[in-house]
Amino acid sequence: MTRTAKLSFYFIIFIIFGLVGLWMPLLGDDLHWGTYFGSNYFPQGIFLRYDGRYLGDFLIIAITKIKLLSFIAYGTFMTLIVFLVQKIRDQIKAPKSLGLVSSSLMTIAILIAPKIIFQQILGWHSGFANYVPSAVFPLFMLYLVLKNYDQEVHYYRTIIILIFLASIMAQFFAEHVTVLNCFNSVLVWIFLRKHFGTEFKKILNWILLGNFIGAFLMFINGAYLKILFGKDSYRSVSGSNKTDTMISYFKTQFTPRTLITVGILLLIFSLFVIWYSTKVKDVKLRIANLSLLLSGFVVITPFLVVSPFGARCMFATYVLFSTIVTINIDLLTDTYEKYIFPVFALMALVLGVRADLIARNYGQTFNMQIEYSQYQNTIDSKNQYYLQYQDTHYIWLTTLIQDDPNFAQLYIKNNNRNKIPINYYDWVDVQDQLQNKHFANRNDYMKAFNKGILEKVKLIQQKEKQK
């Protein structure tokens, strides 16, 4: 019964995040990766000089080309993060009941992430493909450390080989996490090795070797030499002329008051975690808290000098800090698990359905944008009408749809037409008016839709003249 309940829970989490990936629109770089550039990326050897995110880039190409793979990837990696957080908690202290409080809380934490992070992680396939999978191995490493701390655990040879391969492959997603993985494996090897059994000491050596092999294979990519010598127009290791390092980003995106407030809260959080961890008797909890806190700072430190920096770069730190909060709340409320789990699970479900509905709305707009653009390609007109999104709160839309060269190259036949944006509520109103009418085929529907758009534009122009 317990096993069935757990499987059902994680299946629901998988579906929630999978639908987000399935329905979220392709934006900016997503269109670039999903077509001509992505098709030539590996066959023409572009990857040898673009970056060392070989698996991340492969995943981007896959999920932007095949919707089903987007569903599977979003569902798998997000569920894996949620699952590992629960496993970390379980290694500290066995739960009294189902053991899904940490999973529920972590799901909630991801779904209520600040919008600037949500946009570039869940609302942008290119951001997801590199920054979400990369967050898995640091959590997996912590789980292994806690599982093997002061006890001998037997591992089959197949498992050892898979862990070694994982330690290599984990290095091909995001550079700052690649550095973190090397840092963590060295730190564990130096300070905690004596607390492990003979078998895991060997595994730790393989992890250390795998992390450094992966890092070497990543950073020998030709792109990093260009970056190192300042010959890359987009990336830099000393801050570019565009001043887009982490500090510059914060200065331009937030007010001084906000930065001071967040800085103070972060300092209080860090000092409290350190103080609380020194007071607890459970050594595993102390290791978990302090390692997660340290990793959260280490993983973002490179962006003090590396540019460009974006909100997506904060995802790993957000996950690591959220894990601290999650497992400690779970442990402190352990006695009341059977009462609080249904509450947290329901919250996670409600937030998940909300995220799915948001993604579905964006996806429907994107599909309508494509269909209407392709219809306009078949008619004679001096204007090209572009359907706008309801908002951009949860998607990474760096440029308006009418100004997106990737969208134009794929779906616009005549790019010399006058570009006229159509407000979301205006074109949706046209859809509503056509909802109960019968059309022989889709082309007739689009013809009626286009007529409605033209009437809307005419009314808008008349109102503007009257002002």
Domain residue ranges of the chain, discontinuous segments joined by +: 2-356, 357-466
Whether the per-residue pLDDT at 163 is higher than 80: the answer is yes
Pick from 214, 216, 218, 235: nearest CA to 226? 235
* Alpha-carbon gap, residue 266 to 268, rounded angstroms: 5
User: Exposed (0-12), middle (13-18) or buried (19+): which is 371, by Cβ within 10 Å?
Assistant: middle
Q: What is the pLDDT of residues 344-398, one digit of tens each?
A: 999 999 999 999 999 999 999 999 999 999 999 999 999 999 999 999 999 999 8
**Distances in whole angstroms, Cα of residue 301 to Cα of each of 215, 253, 311, 322, 466:** 17, 19, 14, 18, 56
| 421 DSSP β-pair partners | 386
Average pLDDT over residues 69-84: 98
Q: What is the pTM of this model?
A: 0.95
Q: What is the pLDDT of residues 192-225, one digit of tens each?
A: 999 999 999 999 999 999 999 999 999 999 899 8
CB neighbours of 92 closer than 8 A, spacing ≥ 6?
Answer: 146, 282, 284, 285, 288, 327, 331
Per-residue pLDDT at 332: 95
Within 245-382, residue ranges assigned H as helices are: 246-253, 256-279, 283-298, 315-332, 337-376
Per-residue pLDDT at 68: 97
Q: What is the pLDDT of residues 13-36, one digit of tens each?
A: 999 999 999 999 999 889 989 888
Q: Is residue 93 within 8 Å of 282, Cβ to Cβ?
A: yes
In this prediction, residue 115 has a pLDDT band, given cuts at 50, 70 and 90, of very high
Which of 39-43, 251-255, 348-352 tops mean pLDDT?
A: 348-352
Phi and psi at residue 422, in whole multiples of 5°?
-115, 120
Place of tokens 């898995």: 136
